[in-house]
C-alpha cells in the first residue's frame, strides 16, 4: 500500500510539471500582449513624478509652492545628431561639456535613459522644445522643484534635494529610486512621508530606436501619480517676516508660541539664508557656499544652540521651591553678596531682605542661592554628600517636568535636549570625589552646568502663561484636510506645580516689566506684558541678551523667547524685540512699534 503512495507522490510531481508547462504555454505562446518580443520591442517604465504637498501659513498664505522644471534625458544608443554645434547652441552648453555628458551617459548605460541636463526651467524649455524632435535619443522628463513665496524661515522649512546613497540604503521599504528628491531638513524632512505623494508609473512599448509604439496592455499596469498632502503651518507669516527683519544682522534666535495650543507662531534662526537659493540648477554651488559660511546659516539655533539660561531660570527655581514647600511667597532672604554677587543698585542695595516677588523683580542672586540650598540640602541624610545627592535629584525631577534636559519632541529634525545636571552627572564629573552644595551652587541662578535650547525657554514661558501645563511646540497644525496636527501635539503635559504658585510667578514677571530696572523696553500701552530678563555671562566675549515674555497677562495670546548673542544686557536688545513682536502680533497694523528704530540700528552698548 505504501508503495502505491510512492506513485501518488510521483503523480503530484508530474501534475505540477504539466501545470507549469500549460501556464507557460499560455503566458509565452498564446498571450499576444507579451509579444512585443516578436519585433524586439522593449517595454519601458516611465515615471510620473507626483506633485509635492504645499506648505501654508496659519492664515492660509502660501509659503512653499512647486515650480515646474524638466530634466533632459538621453538614451545614448538612440542619439543621432547631424550638427553637434547647433545642438550645443540650442541647449546652451559648450562642445566639450557635451562630449563629457554623453560620455558619462554612455558609461551609465547605452540603452537606459539618464539625465543629460537637470532642472531646466520653463524658459529653458520654451527655447528647445520645438527643436527637440530633430534630435532622437533626447527625452524631456517633467519634474518639479520648490519655490518659496517669501525668503523667510529657511531652517524651519528645510529644503529638498536628490536622495543620497546612504538615504537610499536606509529606505528599507524601497520607496525611493536614485535621482528622487527627498526632504533633507526642516518641515520638508519631518513631514516627508505626507508631502511626497506617490510616484506613478507608465509602461510604454518602444522599438529599438526609442520610438514609442503605444501603451503596454492598454495601460492595465499603469498607475497615476498621487499628489502629496499639503500641510498648514502654525507660523504667522507676517510676524515671522517682521521677526526676521528685527534679527537682521544679529546672531541668535526667536521663538514665539501660542500658549493655549503650543503652536509656534514664529521661529527665527539668525543668520539665515534665502531658501530659494537651494532650488533649481544652482543648488550645488549655493549649498556649498552656504554650508561653508563661517556664520553658520544652516545651524538651526532655536533647536540646536544650547545656552546657559541665566536669570530667567530663577522663575523655574521659584516654582520648584514653592511646590516642594521649602519656601513660601513670604520667605525672606538677605541679599548677602558674600555668597554670590548681585546687581546691587539704588532699588536693591546690599543687605536688603526681599520676599520672593521682590527677589525675582530684582533678579537677586543671593536670594536664589539660598532657595537652592534649601532645595538641595533638606537634611534627610546625615552625610552632607548623600543629602545633596538626594536633594539634587529631587530638584532635577521637577525641572525635567518643565521640558528641560531632554528634547521636547518638536516636529523638526535635530532638536537638542540641553542639560539639567543630576547627582550621577556630578559623580562622573568629580570622578568619585565627594561633592556637596557648595560645589554646585552656580546652577541656582541658571549658570554653571545648566544648558537649555531657545525652544525650551519659549515652551517654559508658554507654560507659565498657561499656569502650569504645555502642549509640545509644533510647526504643523493640519496635515492634508485633517485639520489636526500629529496626535502627540494634542496631548497636555502638566508640570506638577500648582497653578496658585504660577500666579505668584506671573505677578513677579508682570512687576519685572512694569517697574524692574530697565525692562521698560518691553512695556506696552494697553497690553500687560509679563517677562523676565537674563544676561548670560559669556566671558571674554560680550554677554548674551535674553528675554522671555508673554502677554496679555490674562488669557495670554503669545509667549516669546528672544536670545541675541553678544548683545549685552537682556533688558536691551532682547526685551525691546520681545515687546515689538508682542505688540505686532496683538495689535497688528495699529502697533506703535516705538523701539523699532532702536532694534534695527543694532547698537546695544
- Residue (228 or 516) nearer to Zn ion, CB: 516
Q: Output the smallest distance, CB 331 to Zn ion, in A.
A: 15
For the chain, counts of helices (H) and of strands (E): 21, 20
Say if residues 61 and 152 touch (Cβ distance below 8 Å).
no
The reply on whether position 223 binds another protein by CB under 8 A is yes
Q: Output the smallest distance, CB 256 to another protein, in A.
A: 41
What does the alpha-carbon distance between residue 512 and residue 547 come to, in Å, rounded to a whole number?
Answer: 11
Q: Which stretch binds another protein (CB under 8 A): 22-30, 341-349, 512-520, 564-572?
A: 22-30
What does the alpha-carbon distance between residue 171 and residue 112 come to, in Å, rounded to a whole number?
Answer: 23
What secondary structure letter does DSSP report for 524? -
What secondary structure letter does DSSP report for 236? -
Instruction: Tell me the angle at which helices 313-324 and 454-465 cross, rounded to the nearest 10 degrees.
Output: 50
The answer to whether the bond into 221 is cis (omega within 30° of 0) is no
- Residue (198 or 260) nearer to another protein, CB: 198
Among 55, 342, 524, 559, binds Zn ion (CB under 5 A): 342
DSSP H or E stretch at residue 56: strand 55-56
Among 70, 221, 418, 458, binds another protein (CB under 8 A): 221
Residue 201 touches which member of Zn ion, another protein, none, C-beta under 5-8 Å by kind: another protein
- Residue (207 or 378) nearer to another protein, CB: 207
The reply on whether position 235 binds Zn ion by CB under 5 A is no
Dihedral sign, Cα of residue 401, residue 404, residue 405, residue 411: positive
Cross-strand bridge partners of residue 267:
255
Q: Output the smallest distance, CB 138 to another protein, in A.
A: 18
Which residues lie closer than 8 Å to 288 by C-beta, 6 or more apart?
Answer: none
Residue 62 touches which member of another protein, Zn ion, none, C-beta under 5-8 Å by kind: none
Site mask for another protein (CB under 8 A), range 172-211, x = bound:
x-------------------------xx-x----------
Site mask for another protein (CB under 8 A), range 122-161, x = bound:
----------------------------------------
Secondary structure, 3-state, 318-336: HHHHHHHCCCCCCCCEECC
Among 243, 335, 372, 581, binds Zn ion (CB under 5 A): 335
What does the alpha-carbon distance between residue 116 and residue 98 come to, in Å, rounded to a whole number?
Answer: 9
Cross-strand bridge partners of residue 142:
70
- Residue (200 or 329) nearer to another protein, CB: 200
What grid cell was written down for 512? 519685572
Q: Output the smallest distance, CB 27 to another protein, in A.
A: 5
The reply on whether position 356 binds Zn ion by CB under 5 A is no
- Residue (10 or 84) nearer to another protein, CB: 10
Say if residues 311 and 445 touch (Cβ distance below 8 Å).
yes
Cross-strand bridge partners of residue 470:
493
Q: Can you give the binding site for Zn ion, defined by CB under 5 A? A: 335, 342, 364
Q: Can you give the binding site for another protein, defined by CB under 8 A? A: 2-3, 5-6, 8-10, 12-14, 16-17, 19-21, 23-25, 27-29, 31, 33-38, 40, 42-45, 106, 109-112, 172, 198-199, 201, 216, 220-221, 223
Amino acid at each position: 500500500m505504501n508503495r502505491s503512495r510512492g506513485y501518488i507522490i510521483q503523480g503530484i510531481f508530474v501534475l505540477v510539471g504539466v501545470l507549469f508547462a500549460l501556464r507557460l504555454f499560455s503566458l509565452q505562446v498564446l498571450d499576444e500582449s507579451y509579444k512585443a518580443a516578436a519585433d524586439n520591442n522593449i517595454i519601458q517604465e516611465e515615471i510620473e513624478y507626483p506633485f509635492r504637498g504645499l506648505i501654508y501659513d496659519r492664515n492660509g498664505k502660501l509659503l512653499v509652492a512647486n515650480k515646474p522644471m524638466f530634466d533632459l534625458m538621453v538614451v545614448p544608443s538612440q542619439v543621432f545628431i547631424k550638427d553637434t554645434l547647433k545642438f550645443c547652441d540650442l541647449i546652451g552648453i559648450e562642445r566639450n561639456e557635451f562630449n563629457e555628458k554623453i560620455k558619462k551617459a554612455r558609461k551609465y548605460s547605452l540603452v537606459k535613459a539618464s539625465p543629460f541636463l537637470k532642472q531646466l526651467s520653463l524658459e529653458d524649455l520654451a527655447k528647445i522644445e520645438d527643436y527637440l524632435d530633430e534630435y532622437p535619443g533626447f527625452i524631456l522628463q517633467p519634474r518639479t522643484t520648490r519655490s518659496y513665496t517669501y525668503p523667510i524661515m529657511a531652517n524651519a522649512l528645510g529644503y529638498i534635494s536628490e536622495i543620497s546613497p546612504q538615504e537610499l540604503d536606509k529606505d528599507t521599504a524601497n520607496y525611493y529610486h536614485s535621482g528622487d528628491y527627498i526632504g533633507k531638513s526642516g518641515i520638508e524632512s519631518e513631514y516627508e512621508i505626507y508631502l511626497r505623494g506617490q510616484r506613478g508609473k507608465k509602461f510604454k512599448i518602444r522599438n529599438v530606436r526609442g520610438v514609442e509604439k503605444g501603451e503596454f496592455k492598454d495601460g492595465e499596469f499603469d498607475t497615476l501619480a498621487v499628489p502629496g498632502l499639503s500641510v498648514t503651518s502654525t507660523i504667522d507669516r507676517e510676524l515671522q517676516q517682521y521677526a526676521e527683519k528685527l534679527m537682521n544682522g544679529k546672531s541668535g534666535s526667536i521663538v514665539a508660541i501660542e500658549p493655549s495650543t503650543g503652536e509656534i507662531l514664529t521661529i527665527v534662526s539668525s543668520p539665515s539664508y534665502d531658501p530659494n537659493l537651494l532650488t533649481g540648477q544652482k543648488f550645488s554651488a549655493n549649498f556649498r557656499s552656504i554650508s561653508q559660511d563661517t556664520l553658520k546659516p544652516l545651524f538651526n539655533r532655536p533647536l540646536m544652540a544650547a545656552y546657559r539660561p541665566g536669570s530667567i531660570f530663577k522663575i523655574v527655581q521659584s516654582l520648584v521651591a514653592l511646590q516642594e514647600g521649602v519656601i513660601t511667597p513670604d520667605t525672606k532672604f538677605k541679599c548677602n553678596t558674600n555668597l554670590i554677587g548681585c546687581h546691587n543698585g539704588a532699588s536693591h542695595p546690599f543687605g536688603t531682605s526681599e520676599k520672593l516677588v521682590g527677589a525675582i523683580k530684582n533678579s537677586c542672586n543671593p536670594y536664589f542661592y539660598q532657595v537652592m540650598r534649601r532645595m538641595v540640602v533638606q537634611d534627610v541624610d546625615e552625610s552632607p554628600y548623600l543629602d545633596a545627592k538626594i536633594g539634587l535629584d529631587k530638584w532635577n525631577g521637577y525641572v525635567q517636568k518643565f521640558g528641560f534636559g531632554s528634547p521636547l519632541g518638536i516636529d523638526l529634525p535635530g532638536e537638542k535636549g540641553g542639560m539639567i545636571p543630576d547627582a550621577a552627572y556630578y559623580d562622573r564629573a568629580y570622578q568619585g570625589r565627594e561633592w556637596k552644595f557648595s560645589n554646585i551652587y552656580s546652577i541656582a541662578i541658571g549658570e554653571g552646568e545648566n544648558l537649555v535650547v531657545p525652544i525650551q525657554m519659549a515652551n517654559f514661558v508658554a507654560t507659565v502663561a498657561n499656569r502650569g501645563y504645555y502642549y509640545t511646540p509644533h510647526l504643523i497644525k493640519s496635515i492634508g484636510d485633517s485639520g489636526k496636527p500629529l496626535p502627540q501635539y494634542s496631548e497636555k503635559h502638566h508640570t506638577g506645580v500648582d497653578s496658585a504658585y504660577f500666579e505668584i510667578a506671573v505677578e513677579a514677571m508682570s512687576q519685572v516689566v512694569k517697574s524692574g530696572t530697565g525692562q521698560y523696553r518691553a512695556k506696552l500701552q494697553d497690553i500687560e506684558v509679563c517677562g523676565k530678563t537674563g544676561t548670560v555671562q559669556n566671558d571674554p566675549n560680550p554677554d548674551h541678551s535674553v528675554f522671555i515674555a508673554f502677554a496679555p497677562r490674562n488669557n495670554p495670546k503669545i509667549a516669546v523667547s528672544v536670545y541675541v548673542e553678544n548683545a549685552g544686557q537682556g533688558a536691551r536688545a532682547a526685551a525691546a524685540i520681545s515687546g515689538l513682536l508682542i505688540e505686532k502680533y496683538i495689535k497688528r497694523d495699529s502697533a506703535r512699534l516705538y523701539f523699532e528704530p532702536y532694534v534695527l540700528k543694532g547698537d546695544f552698548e
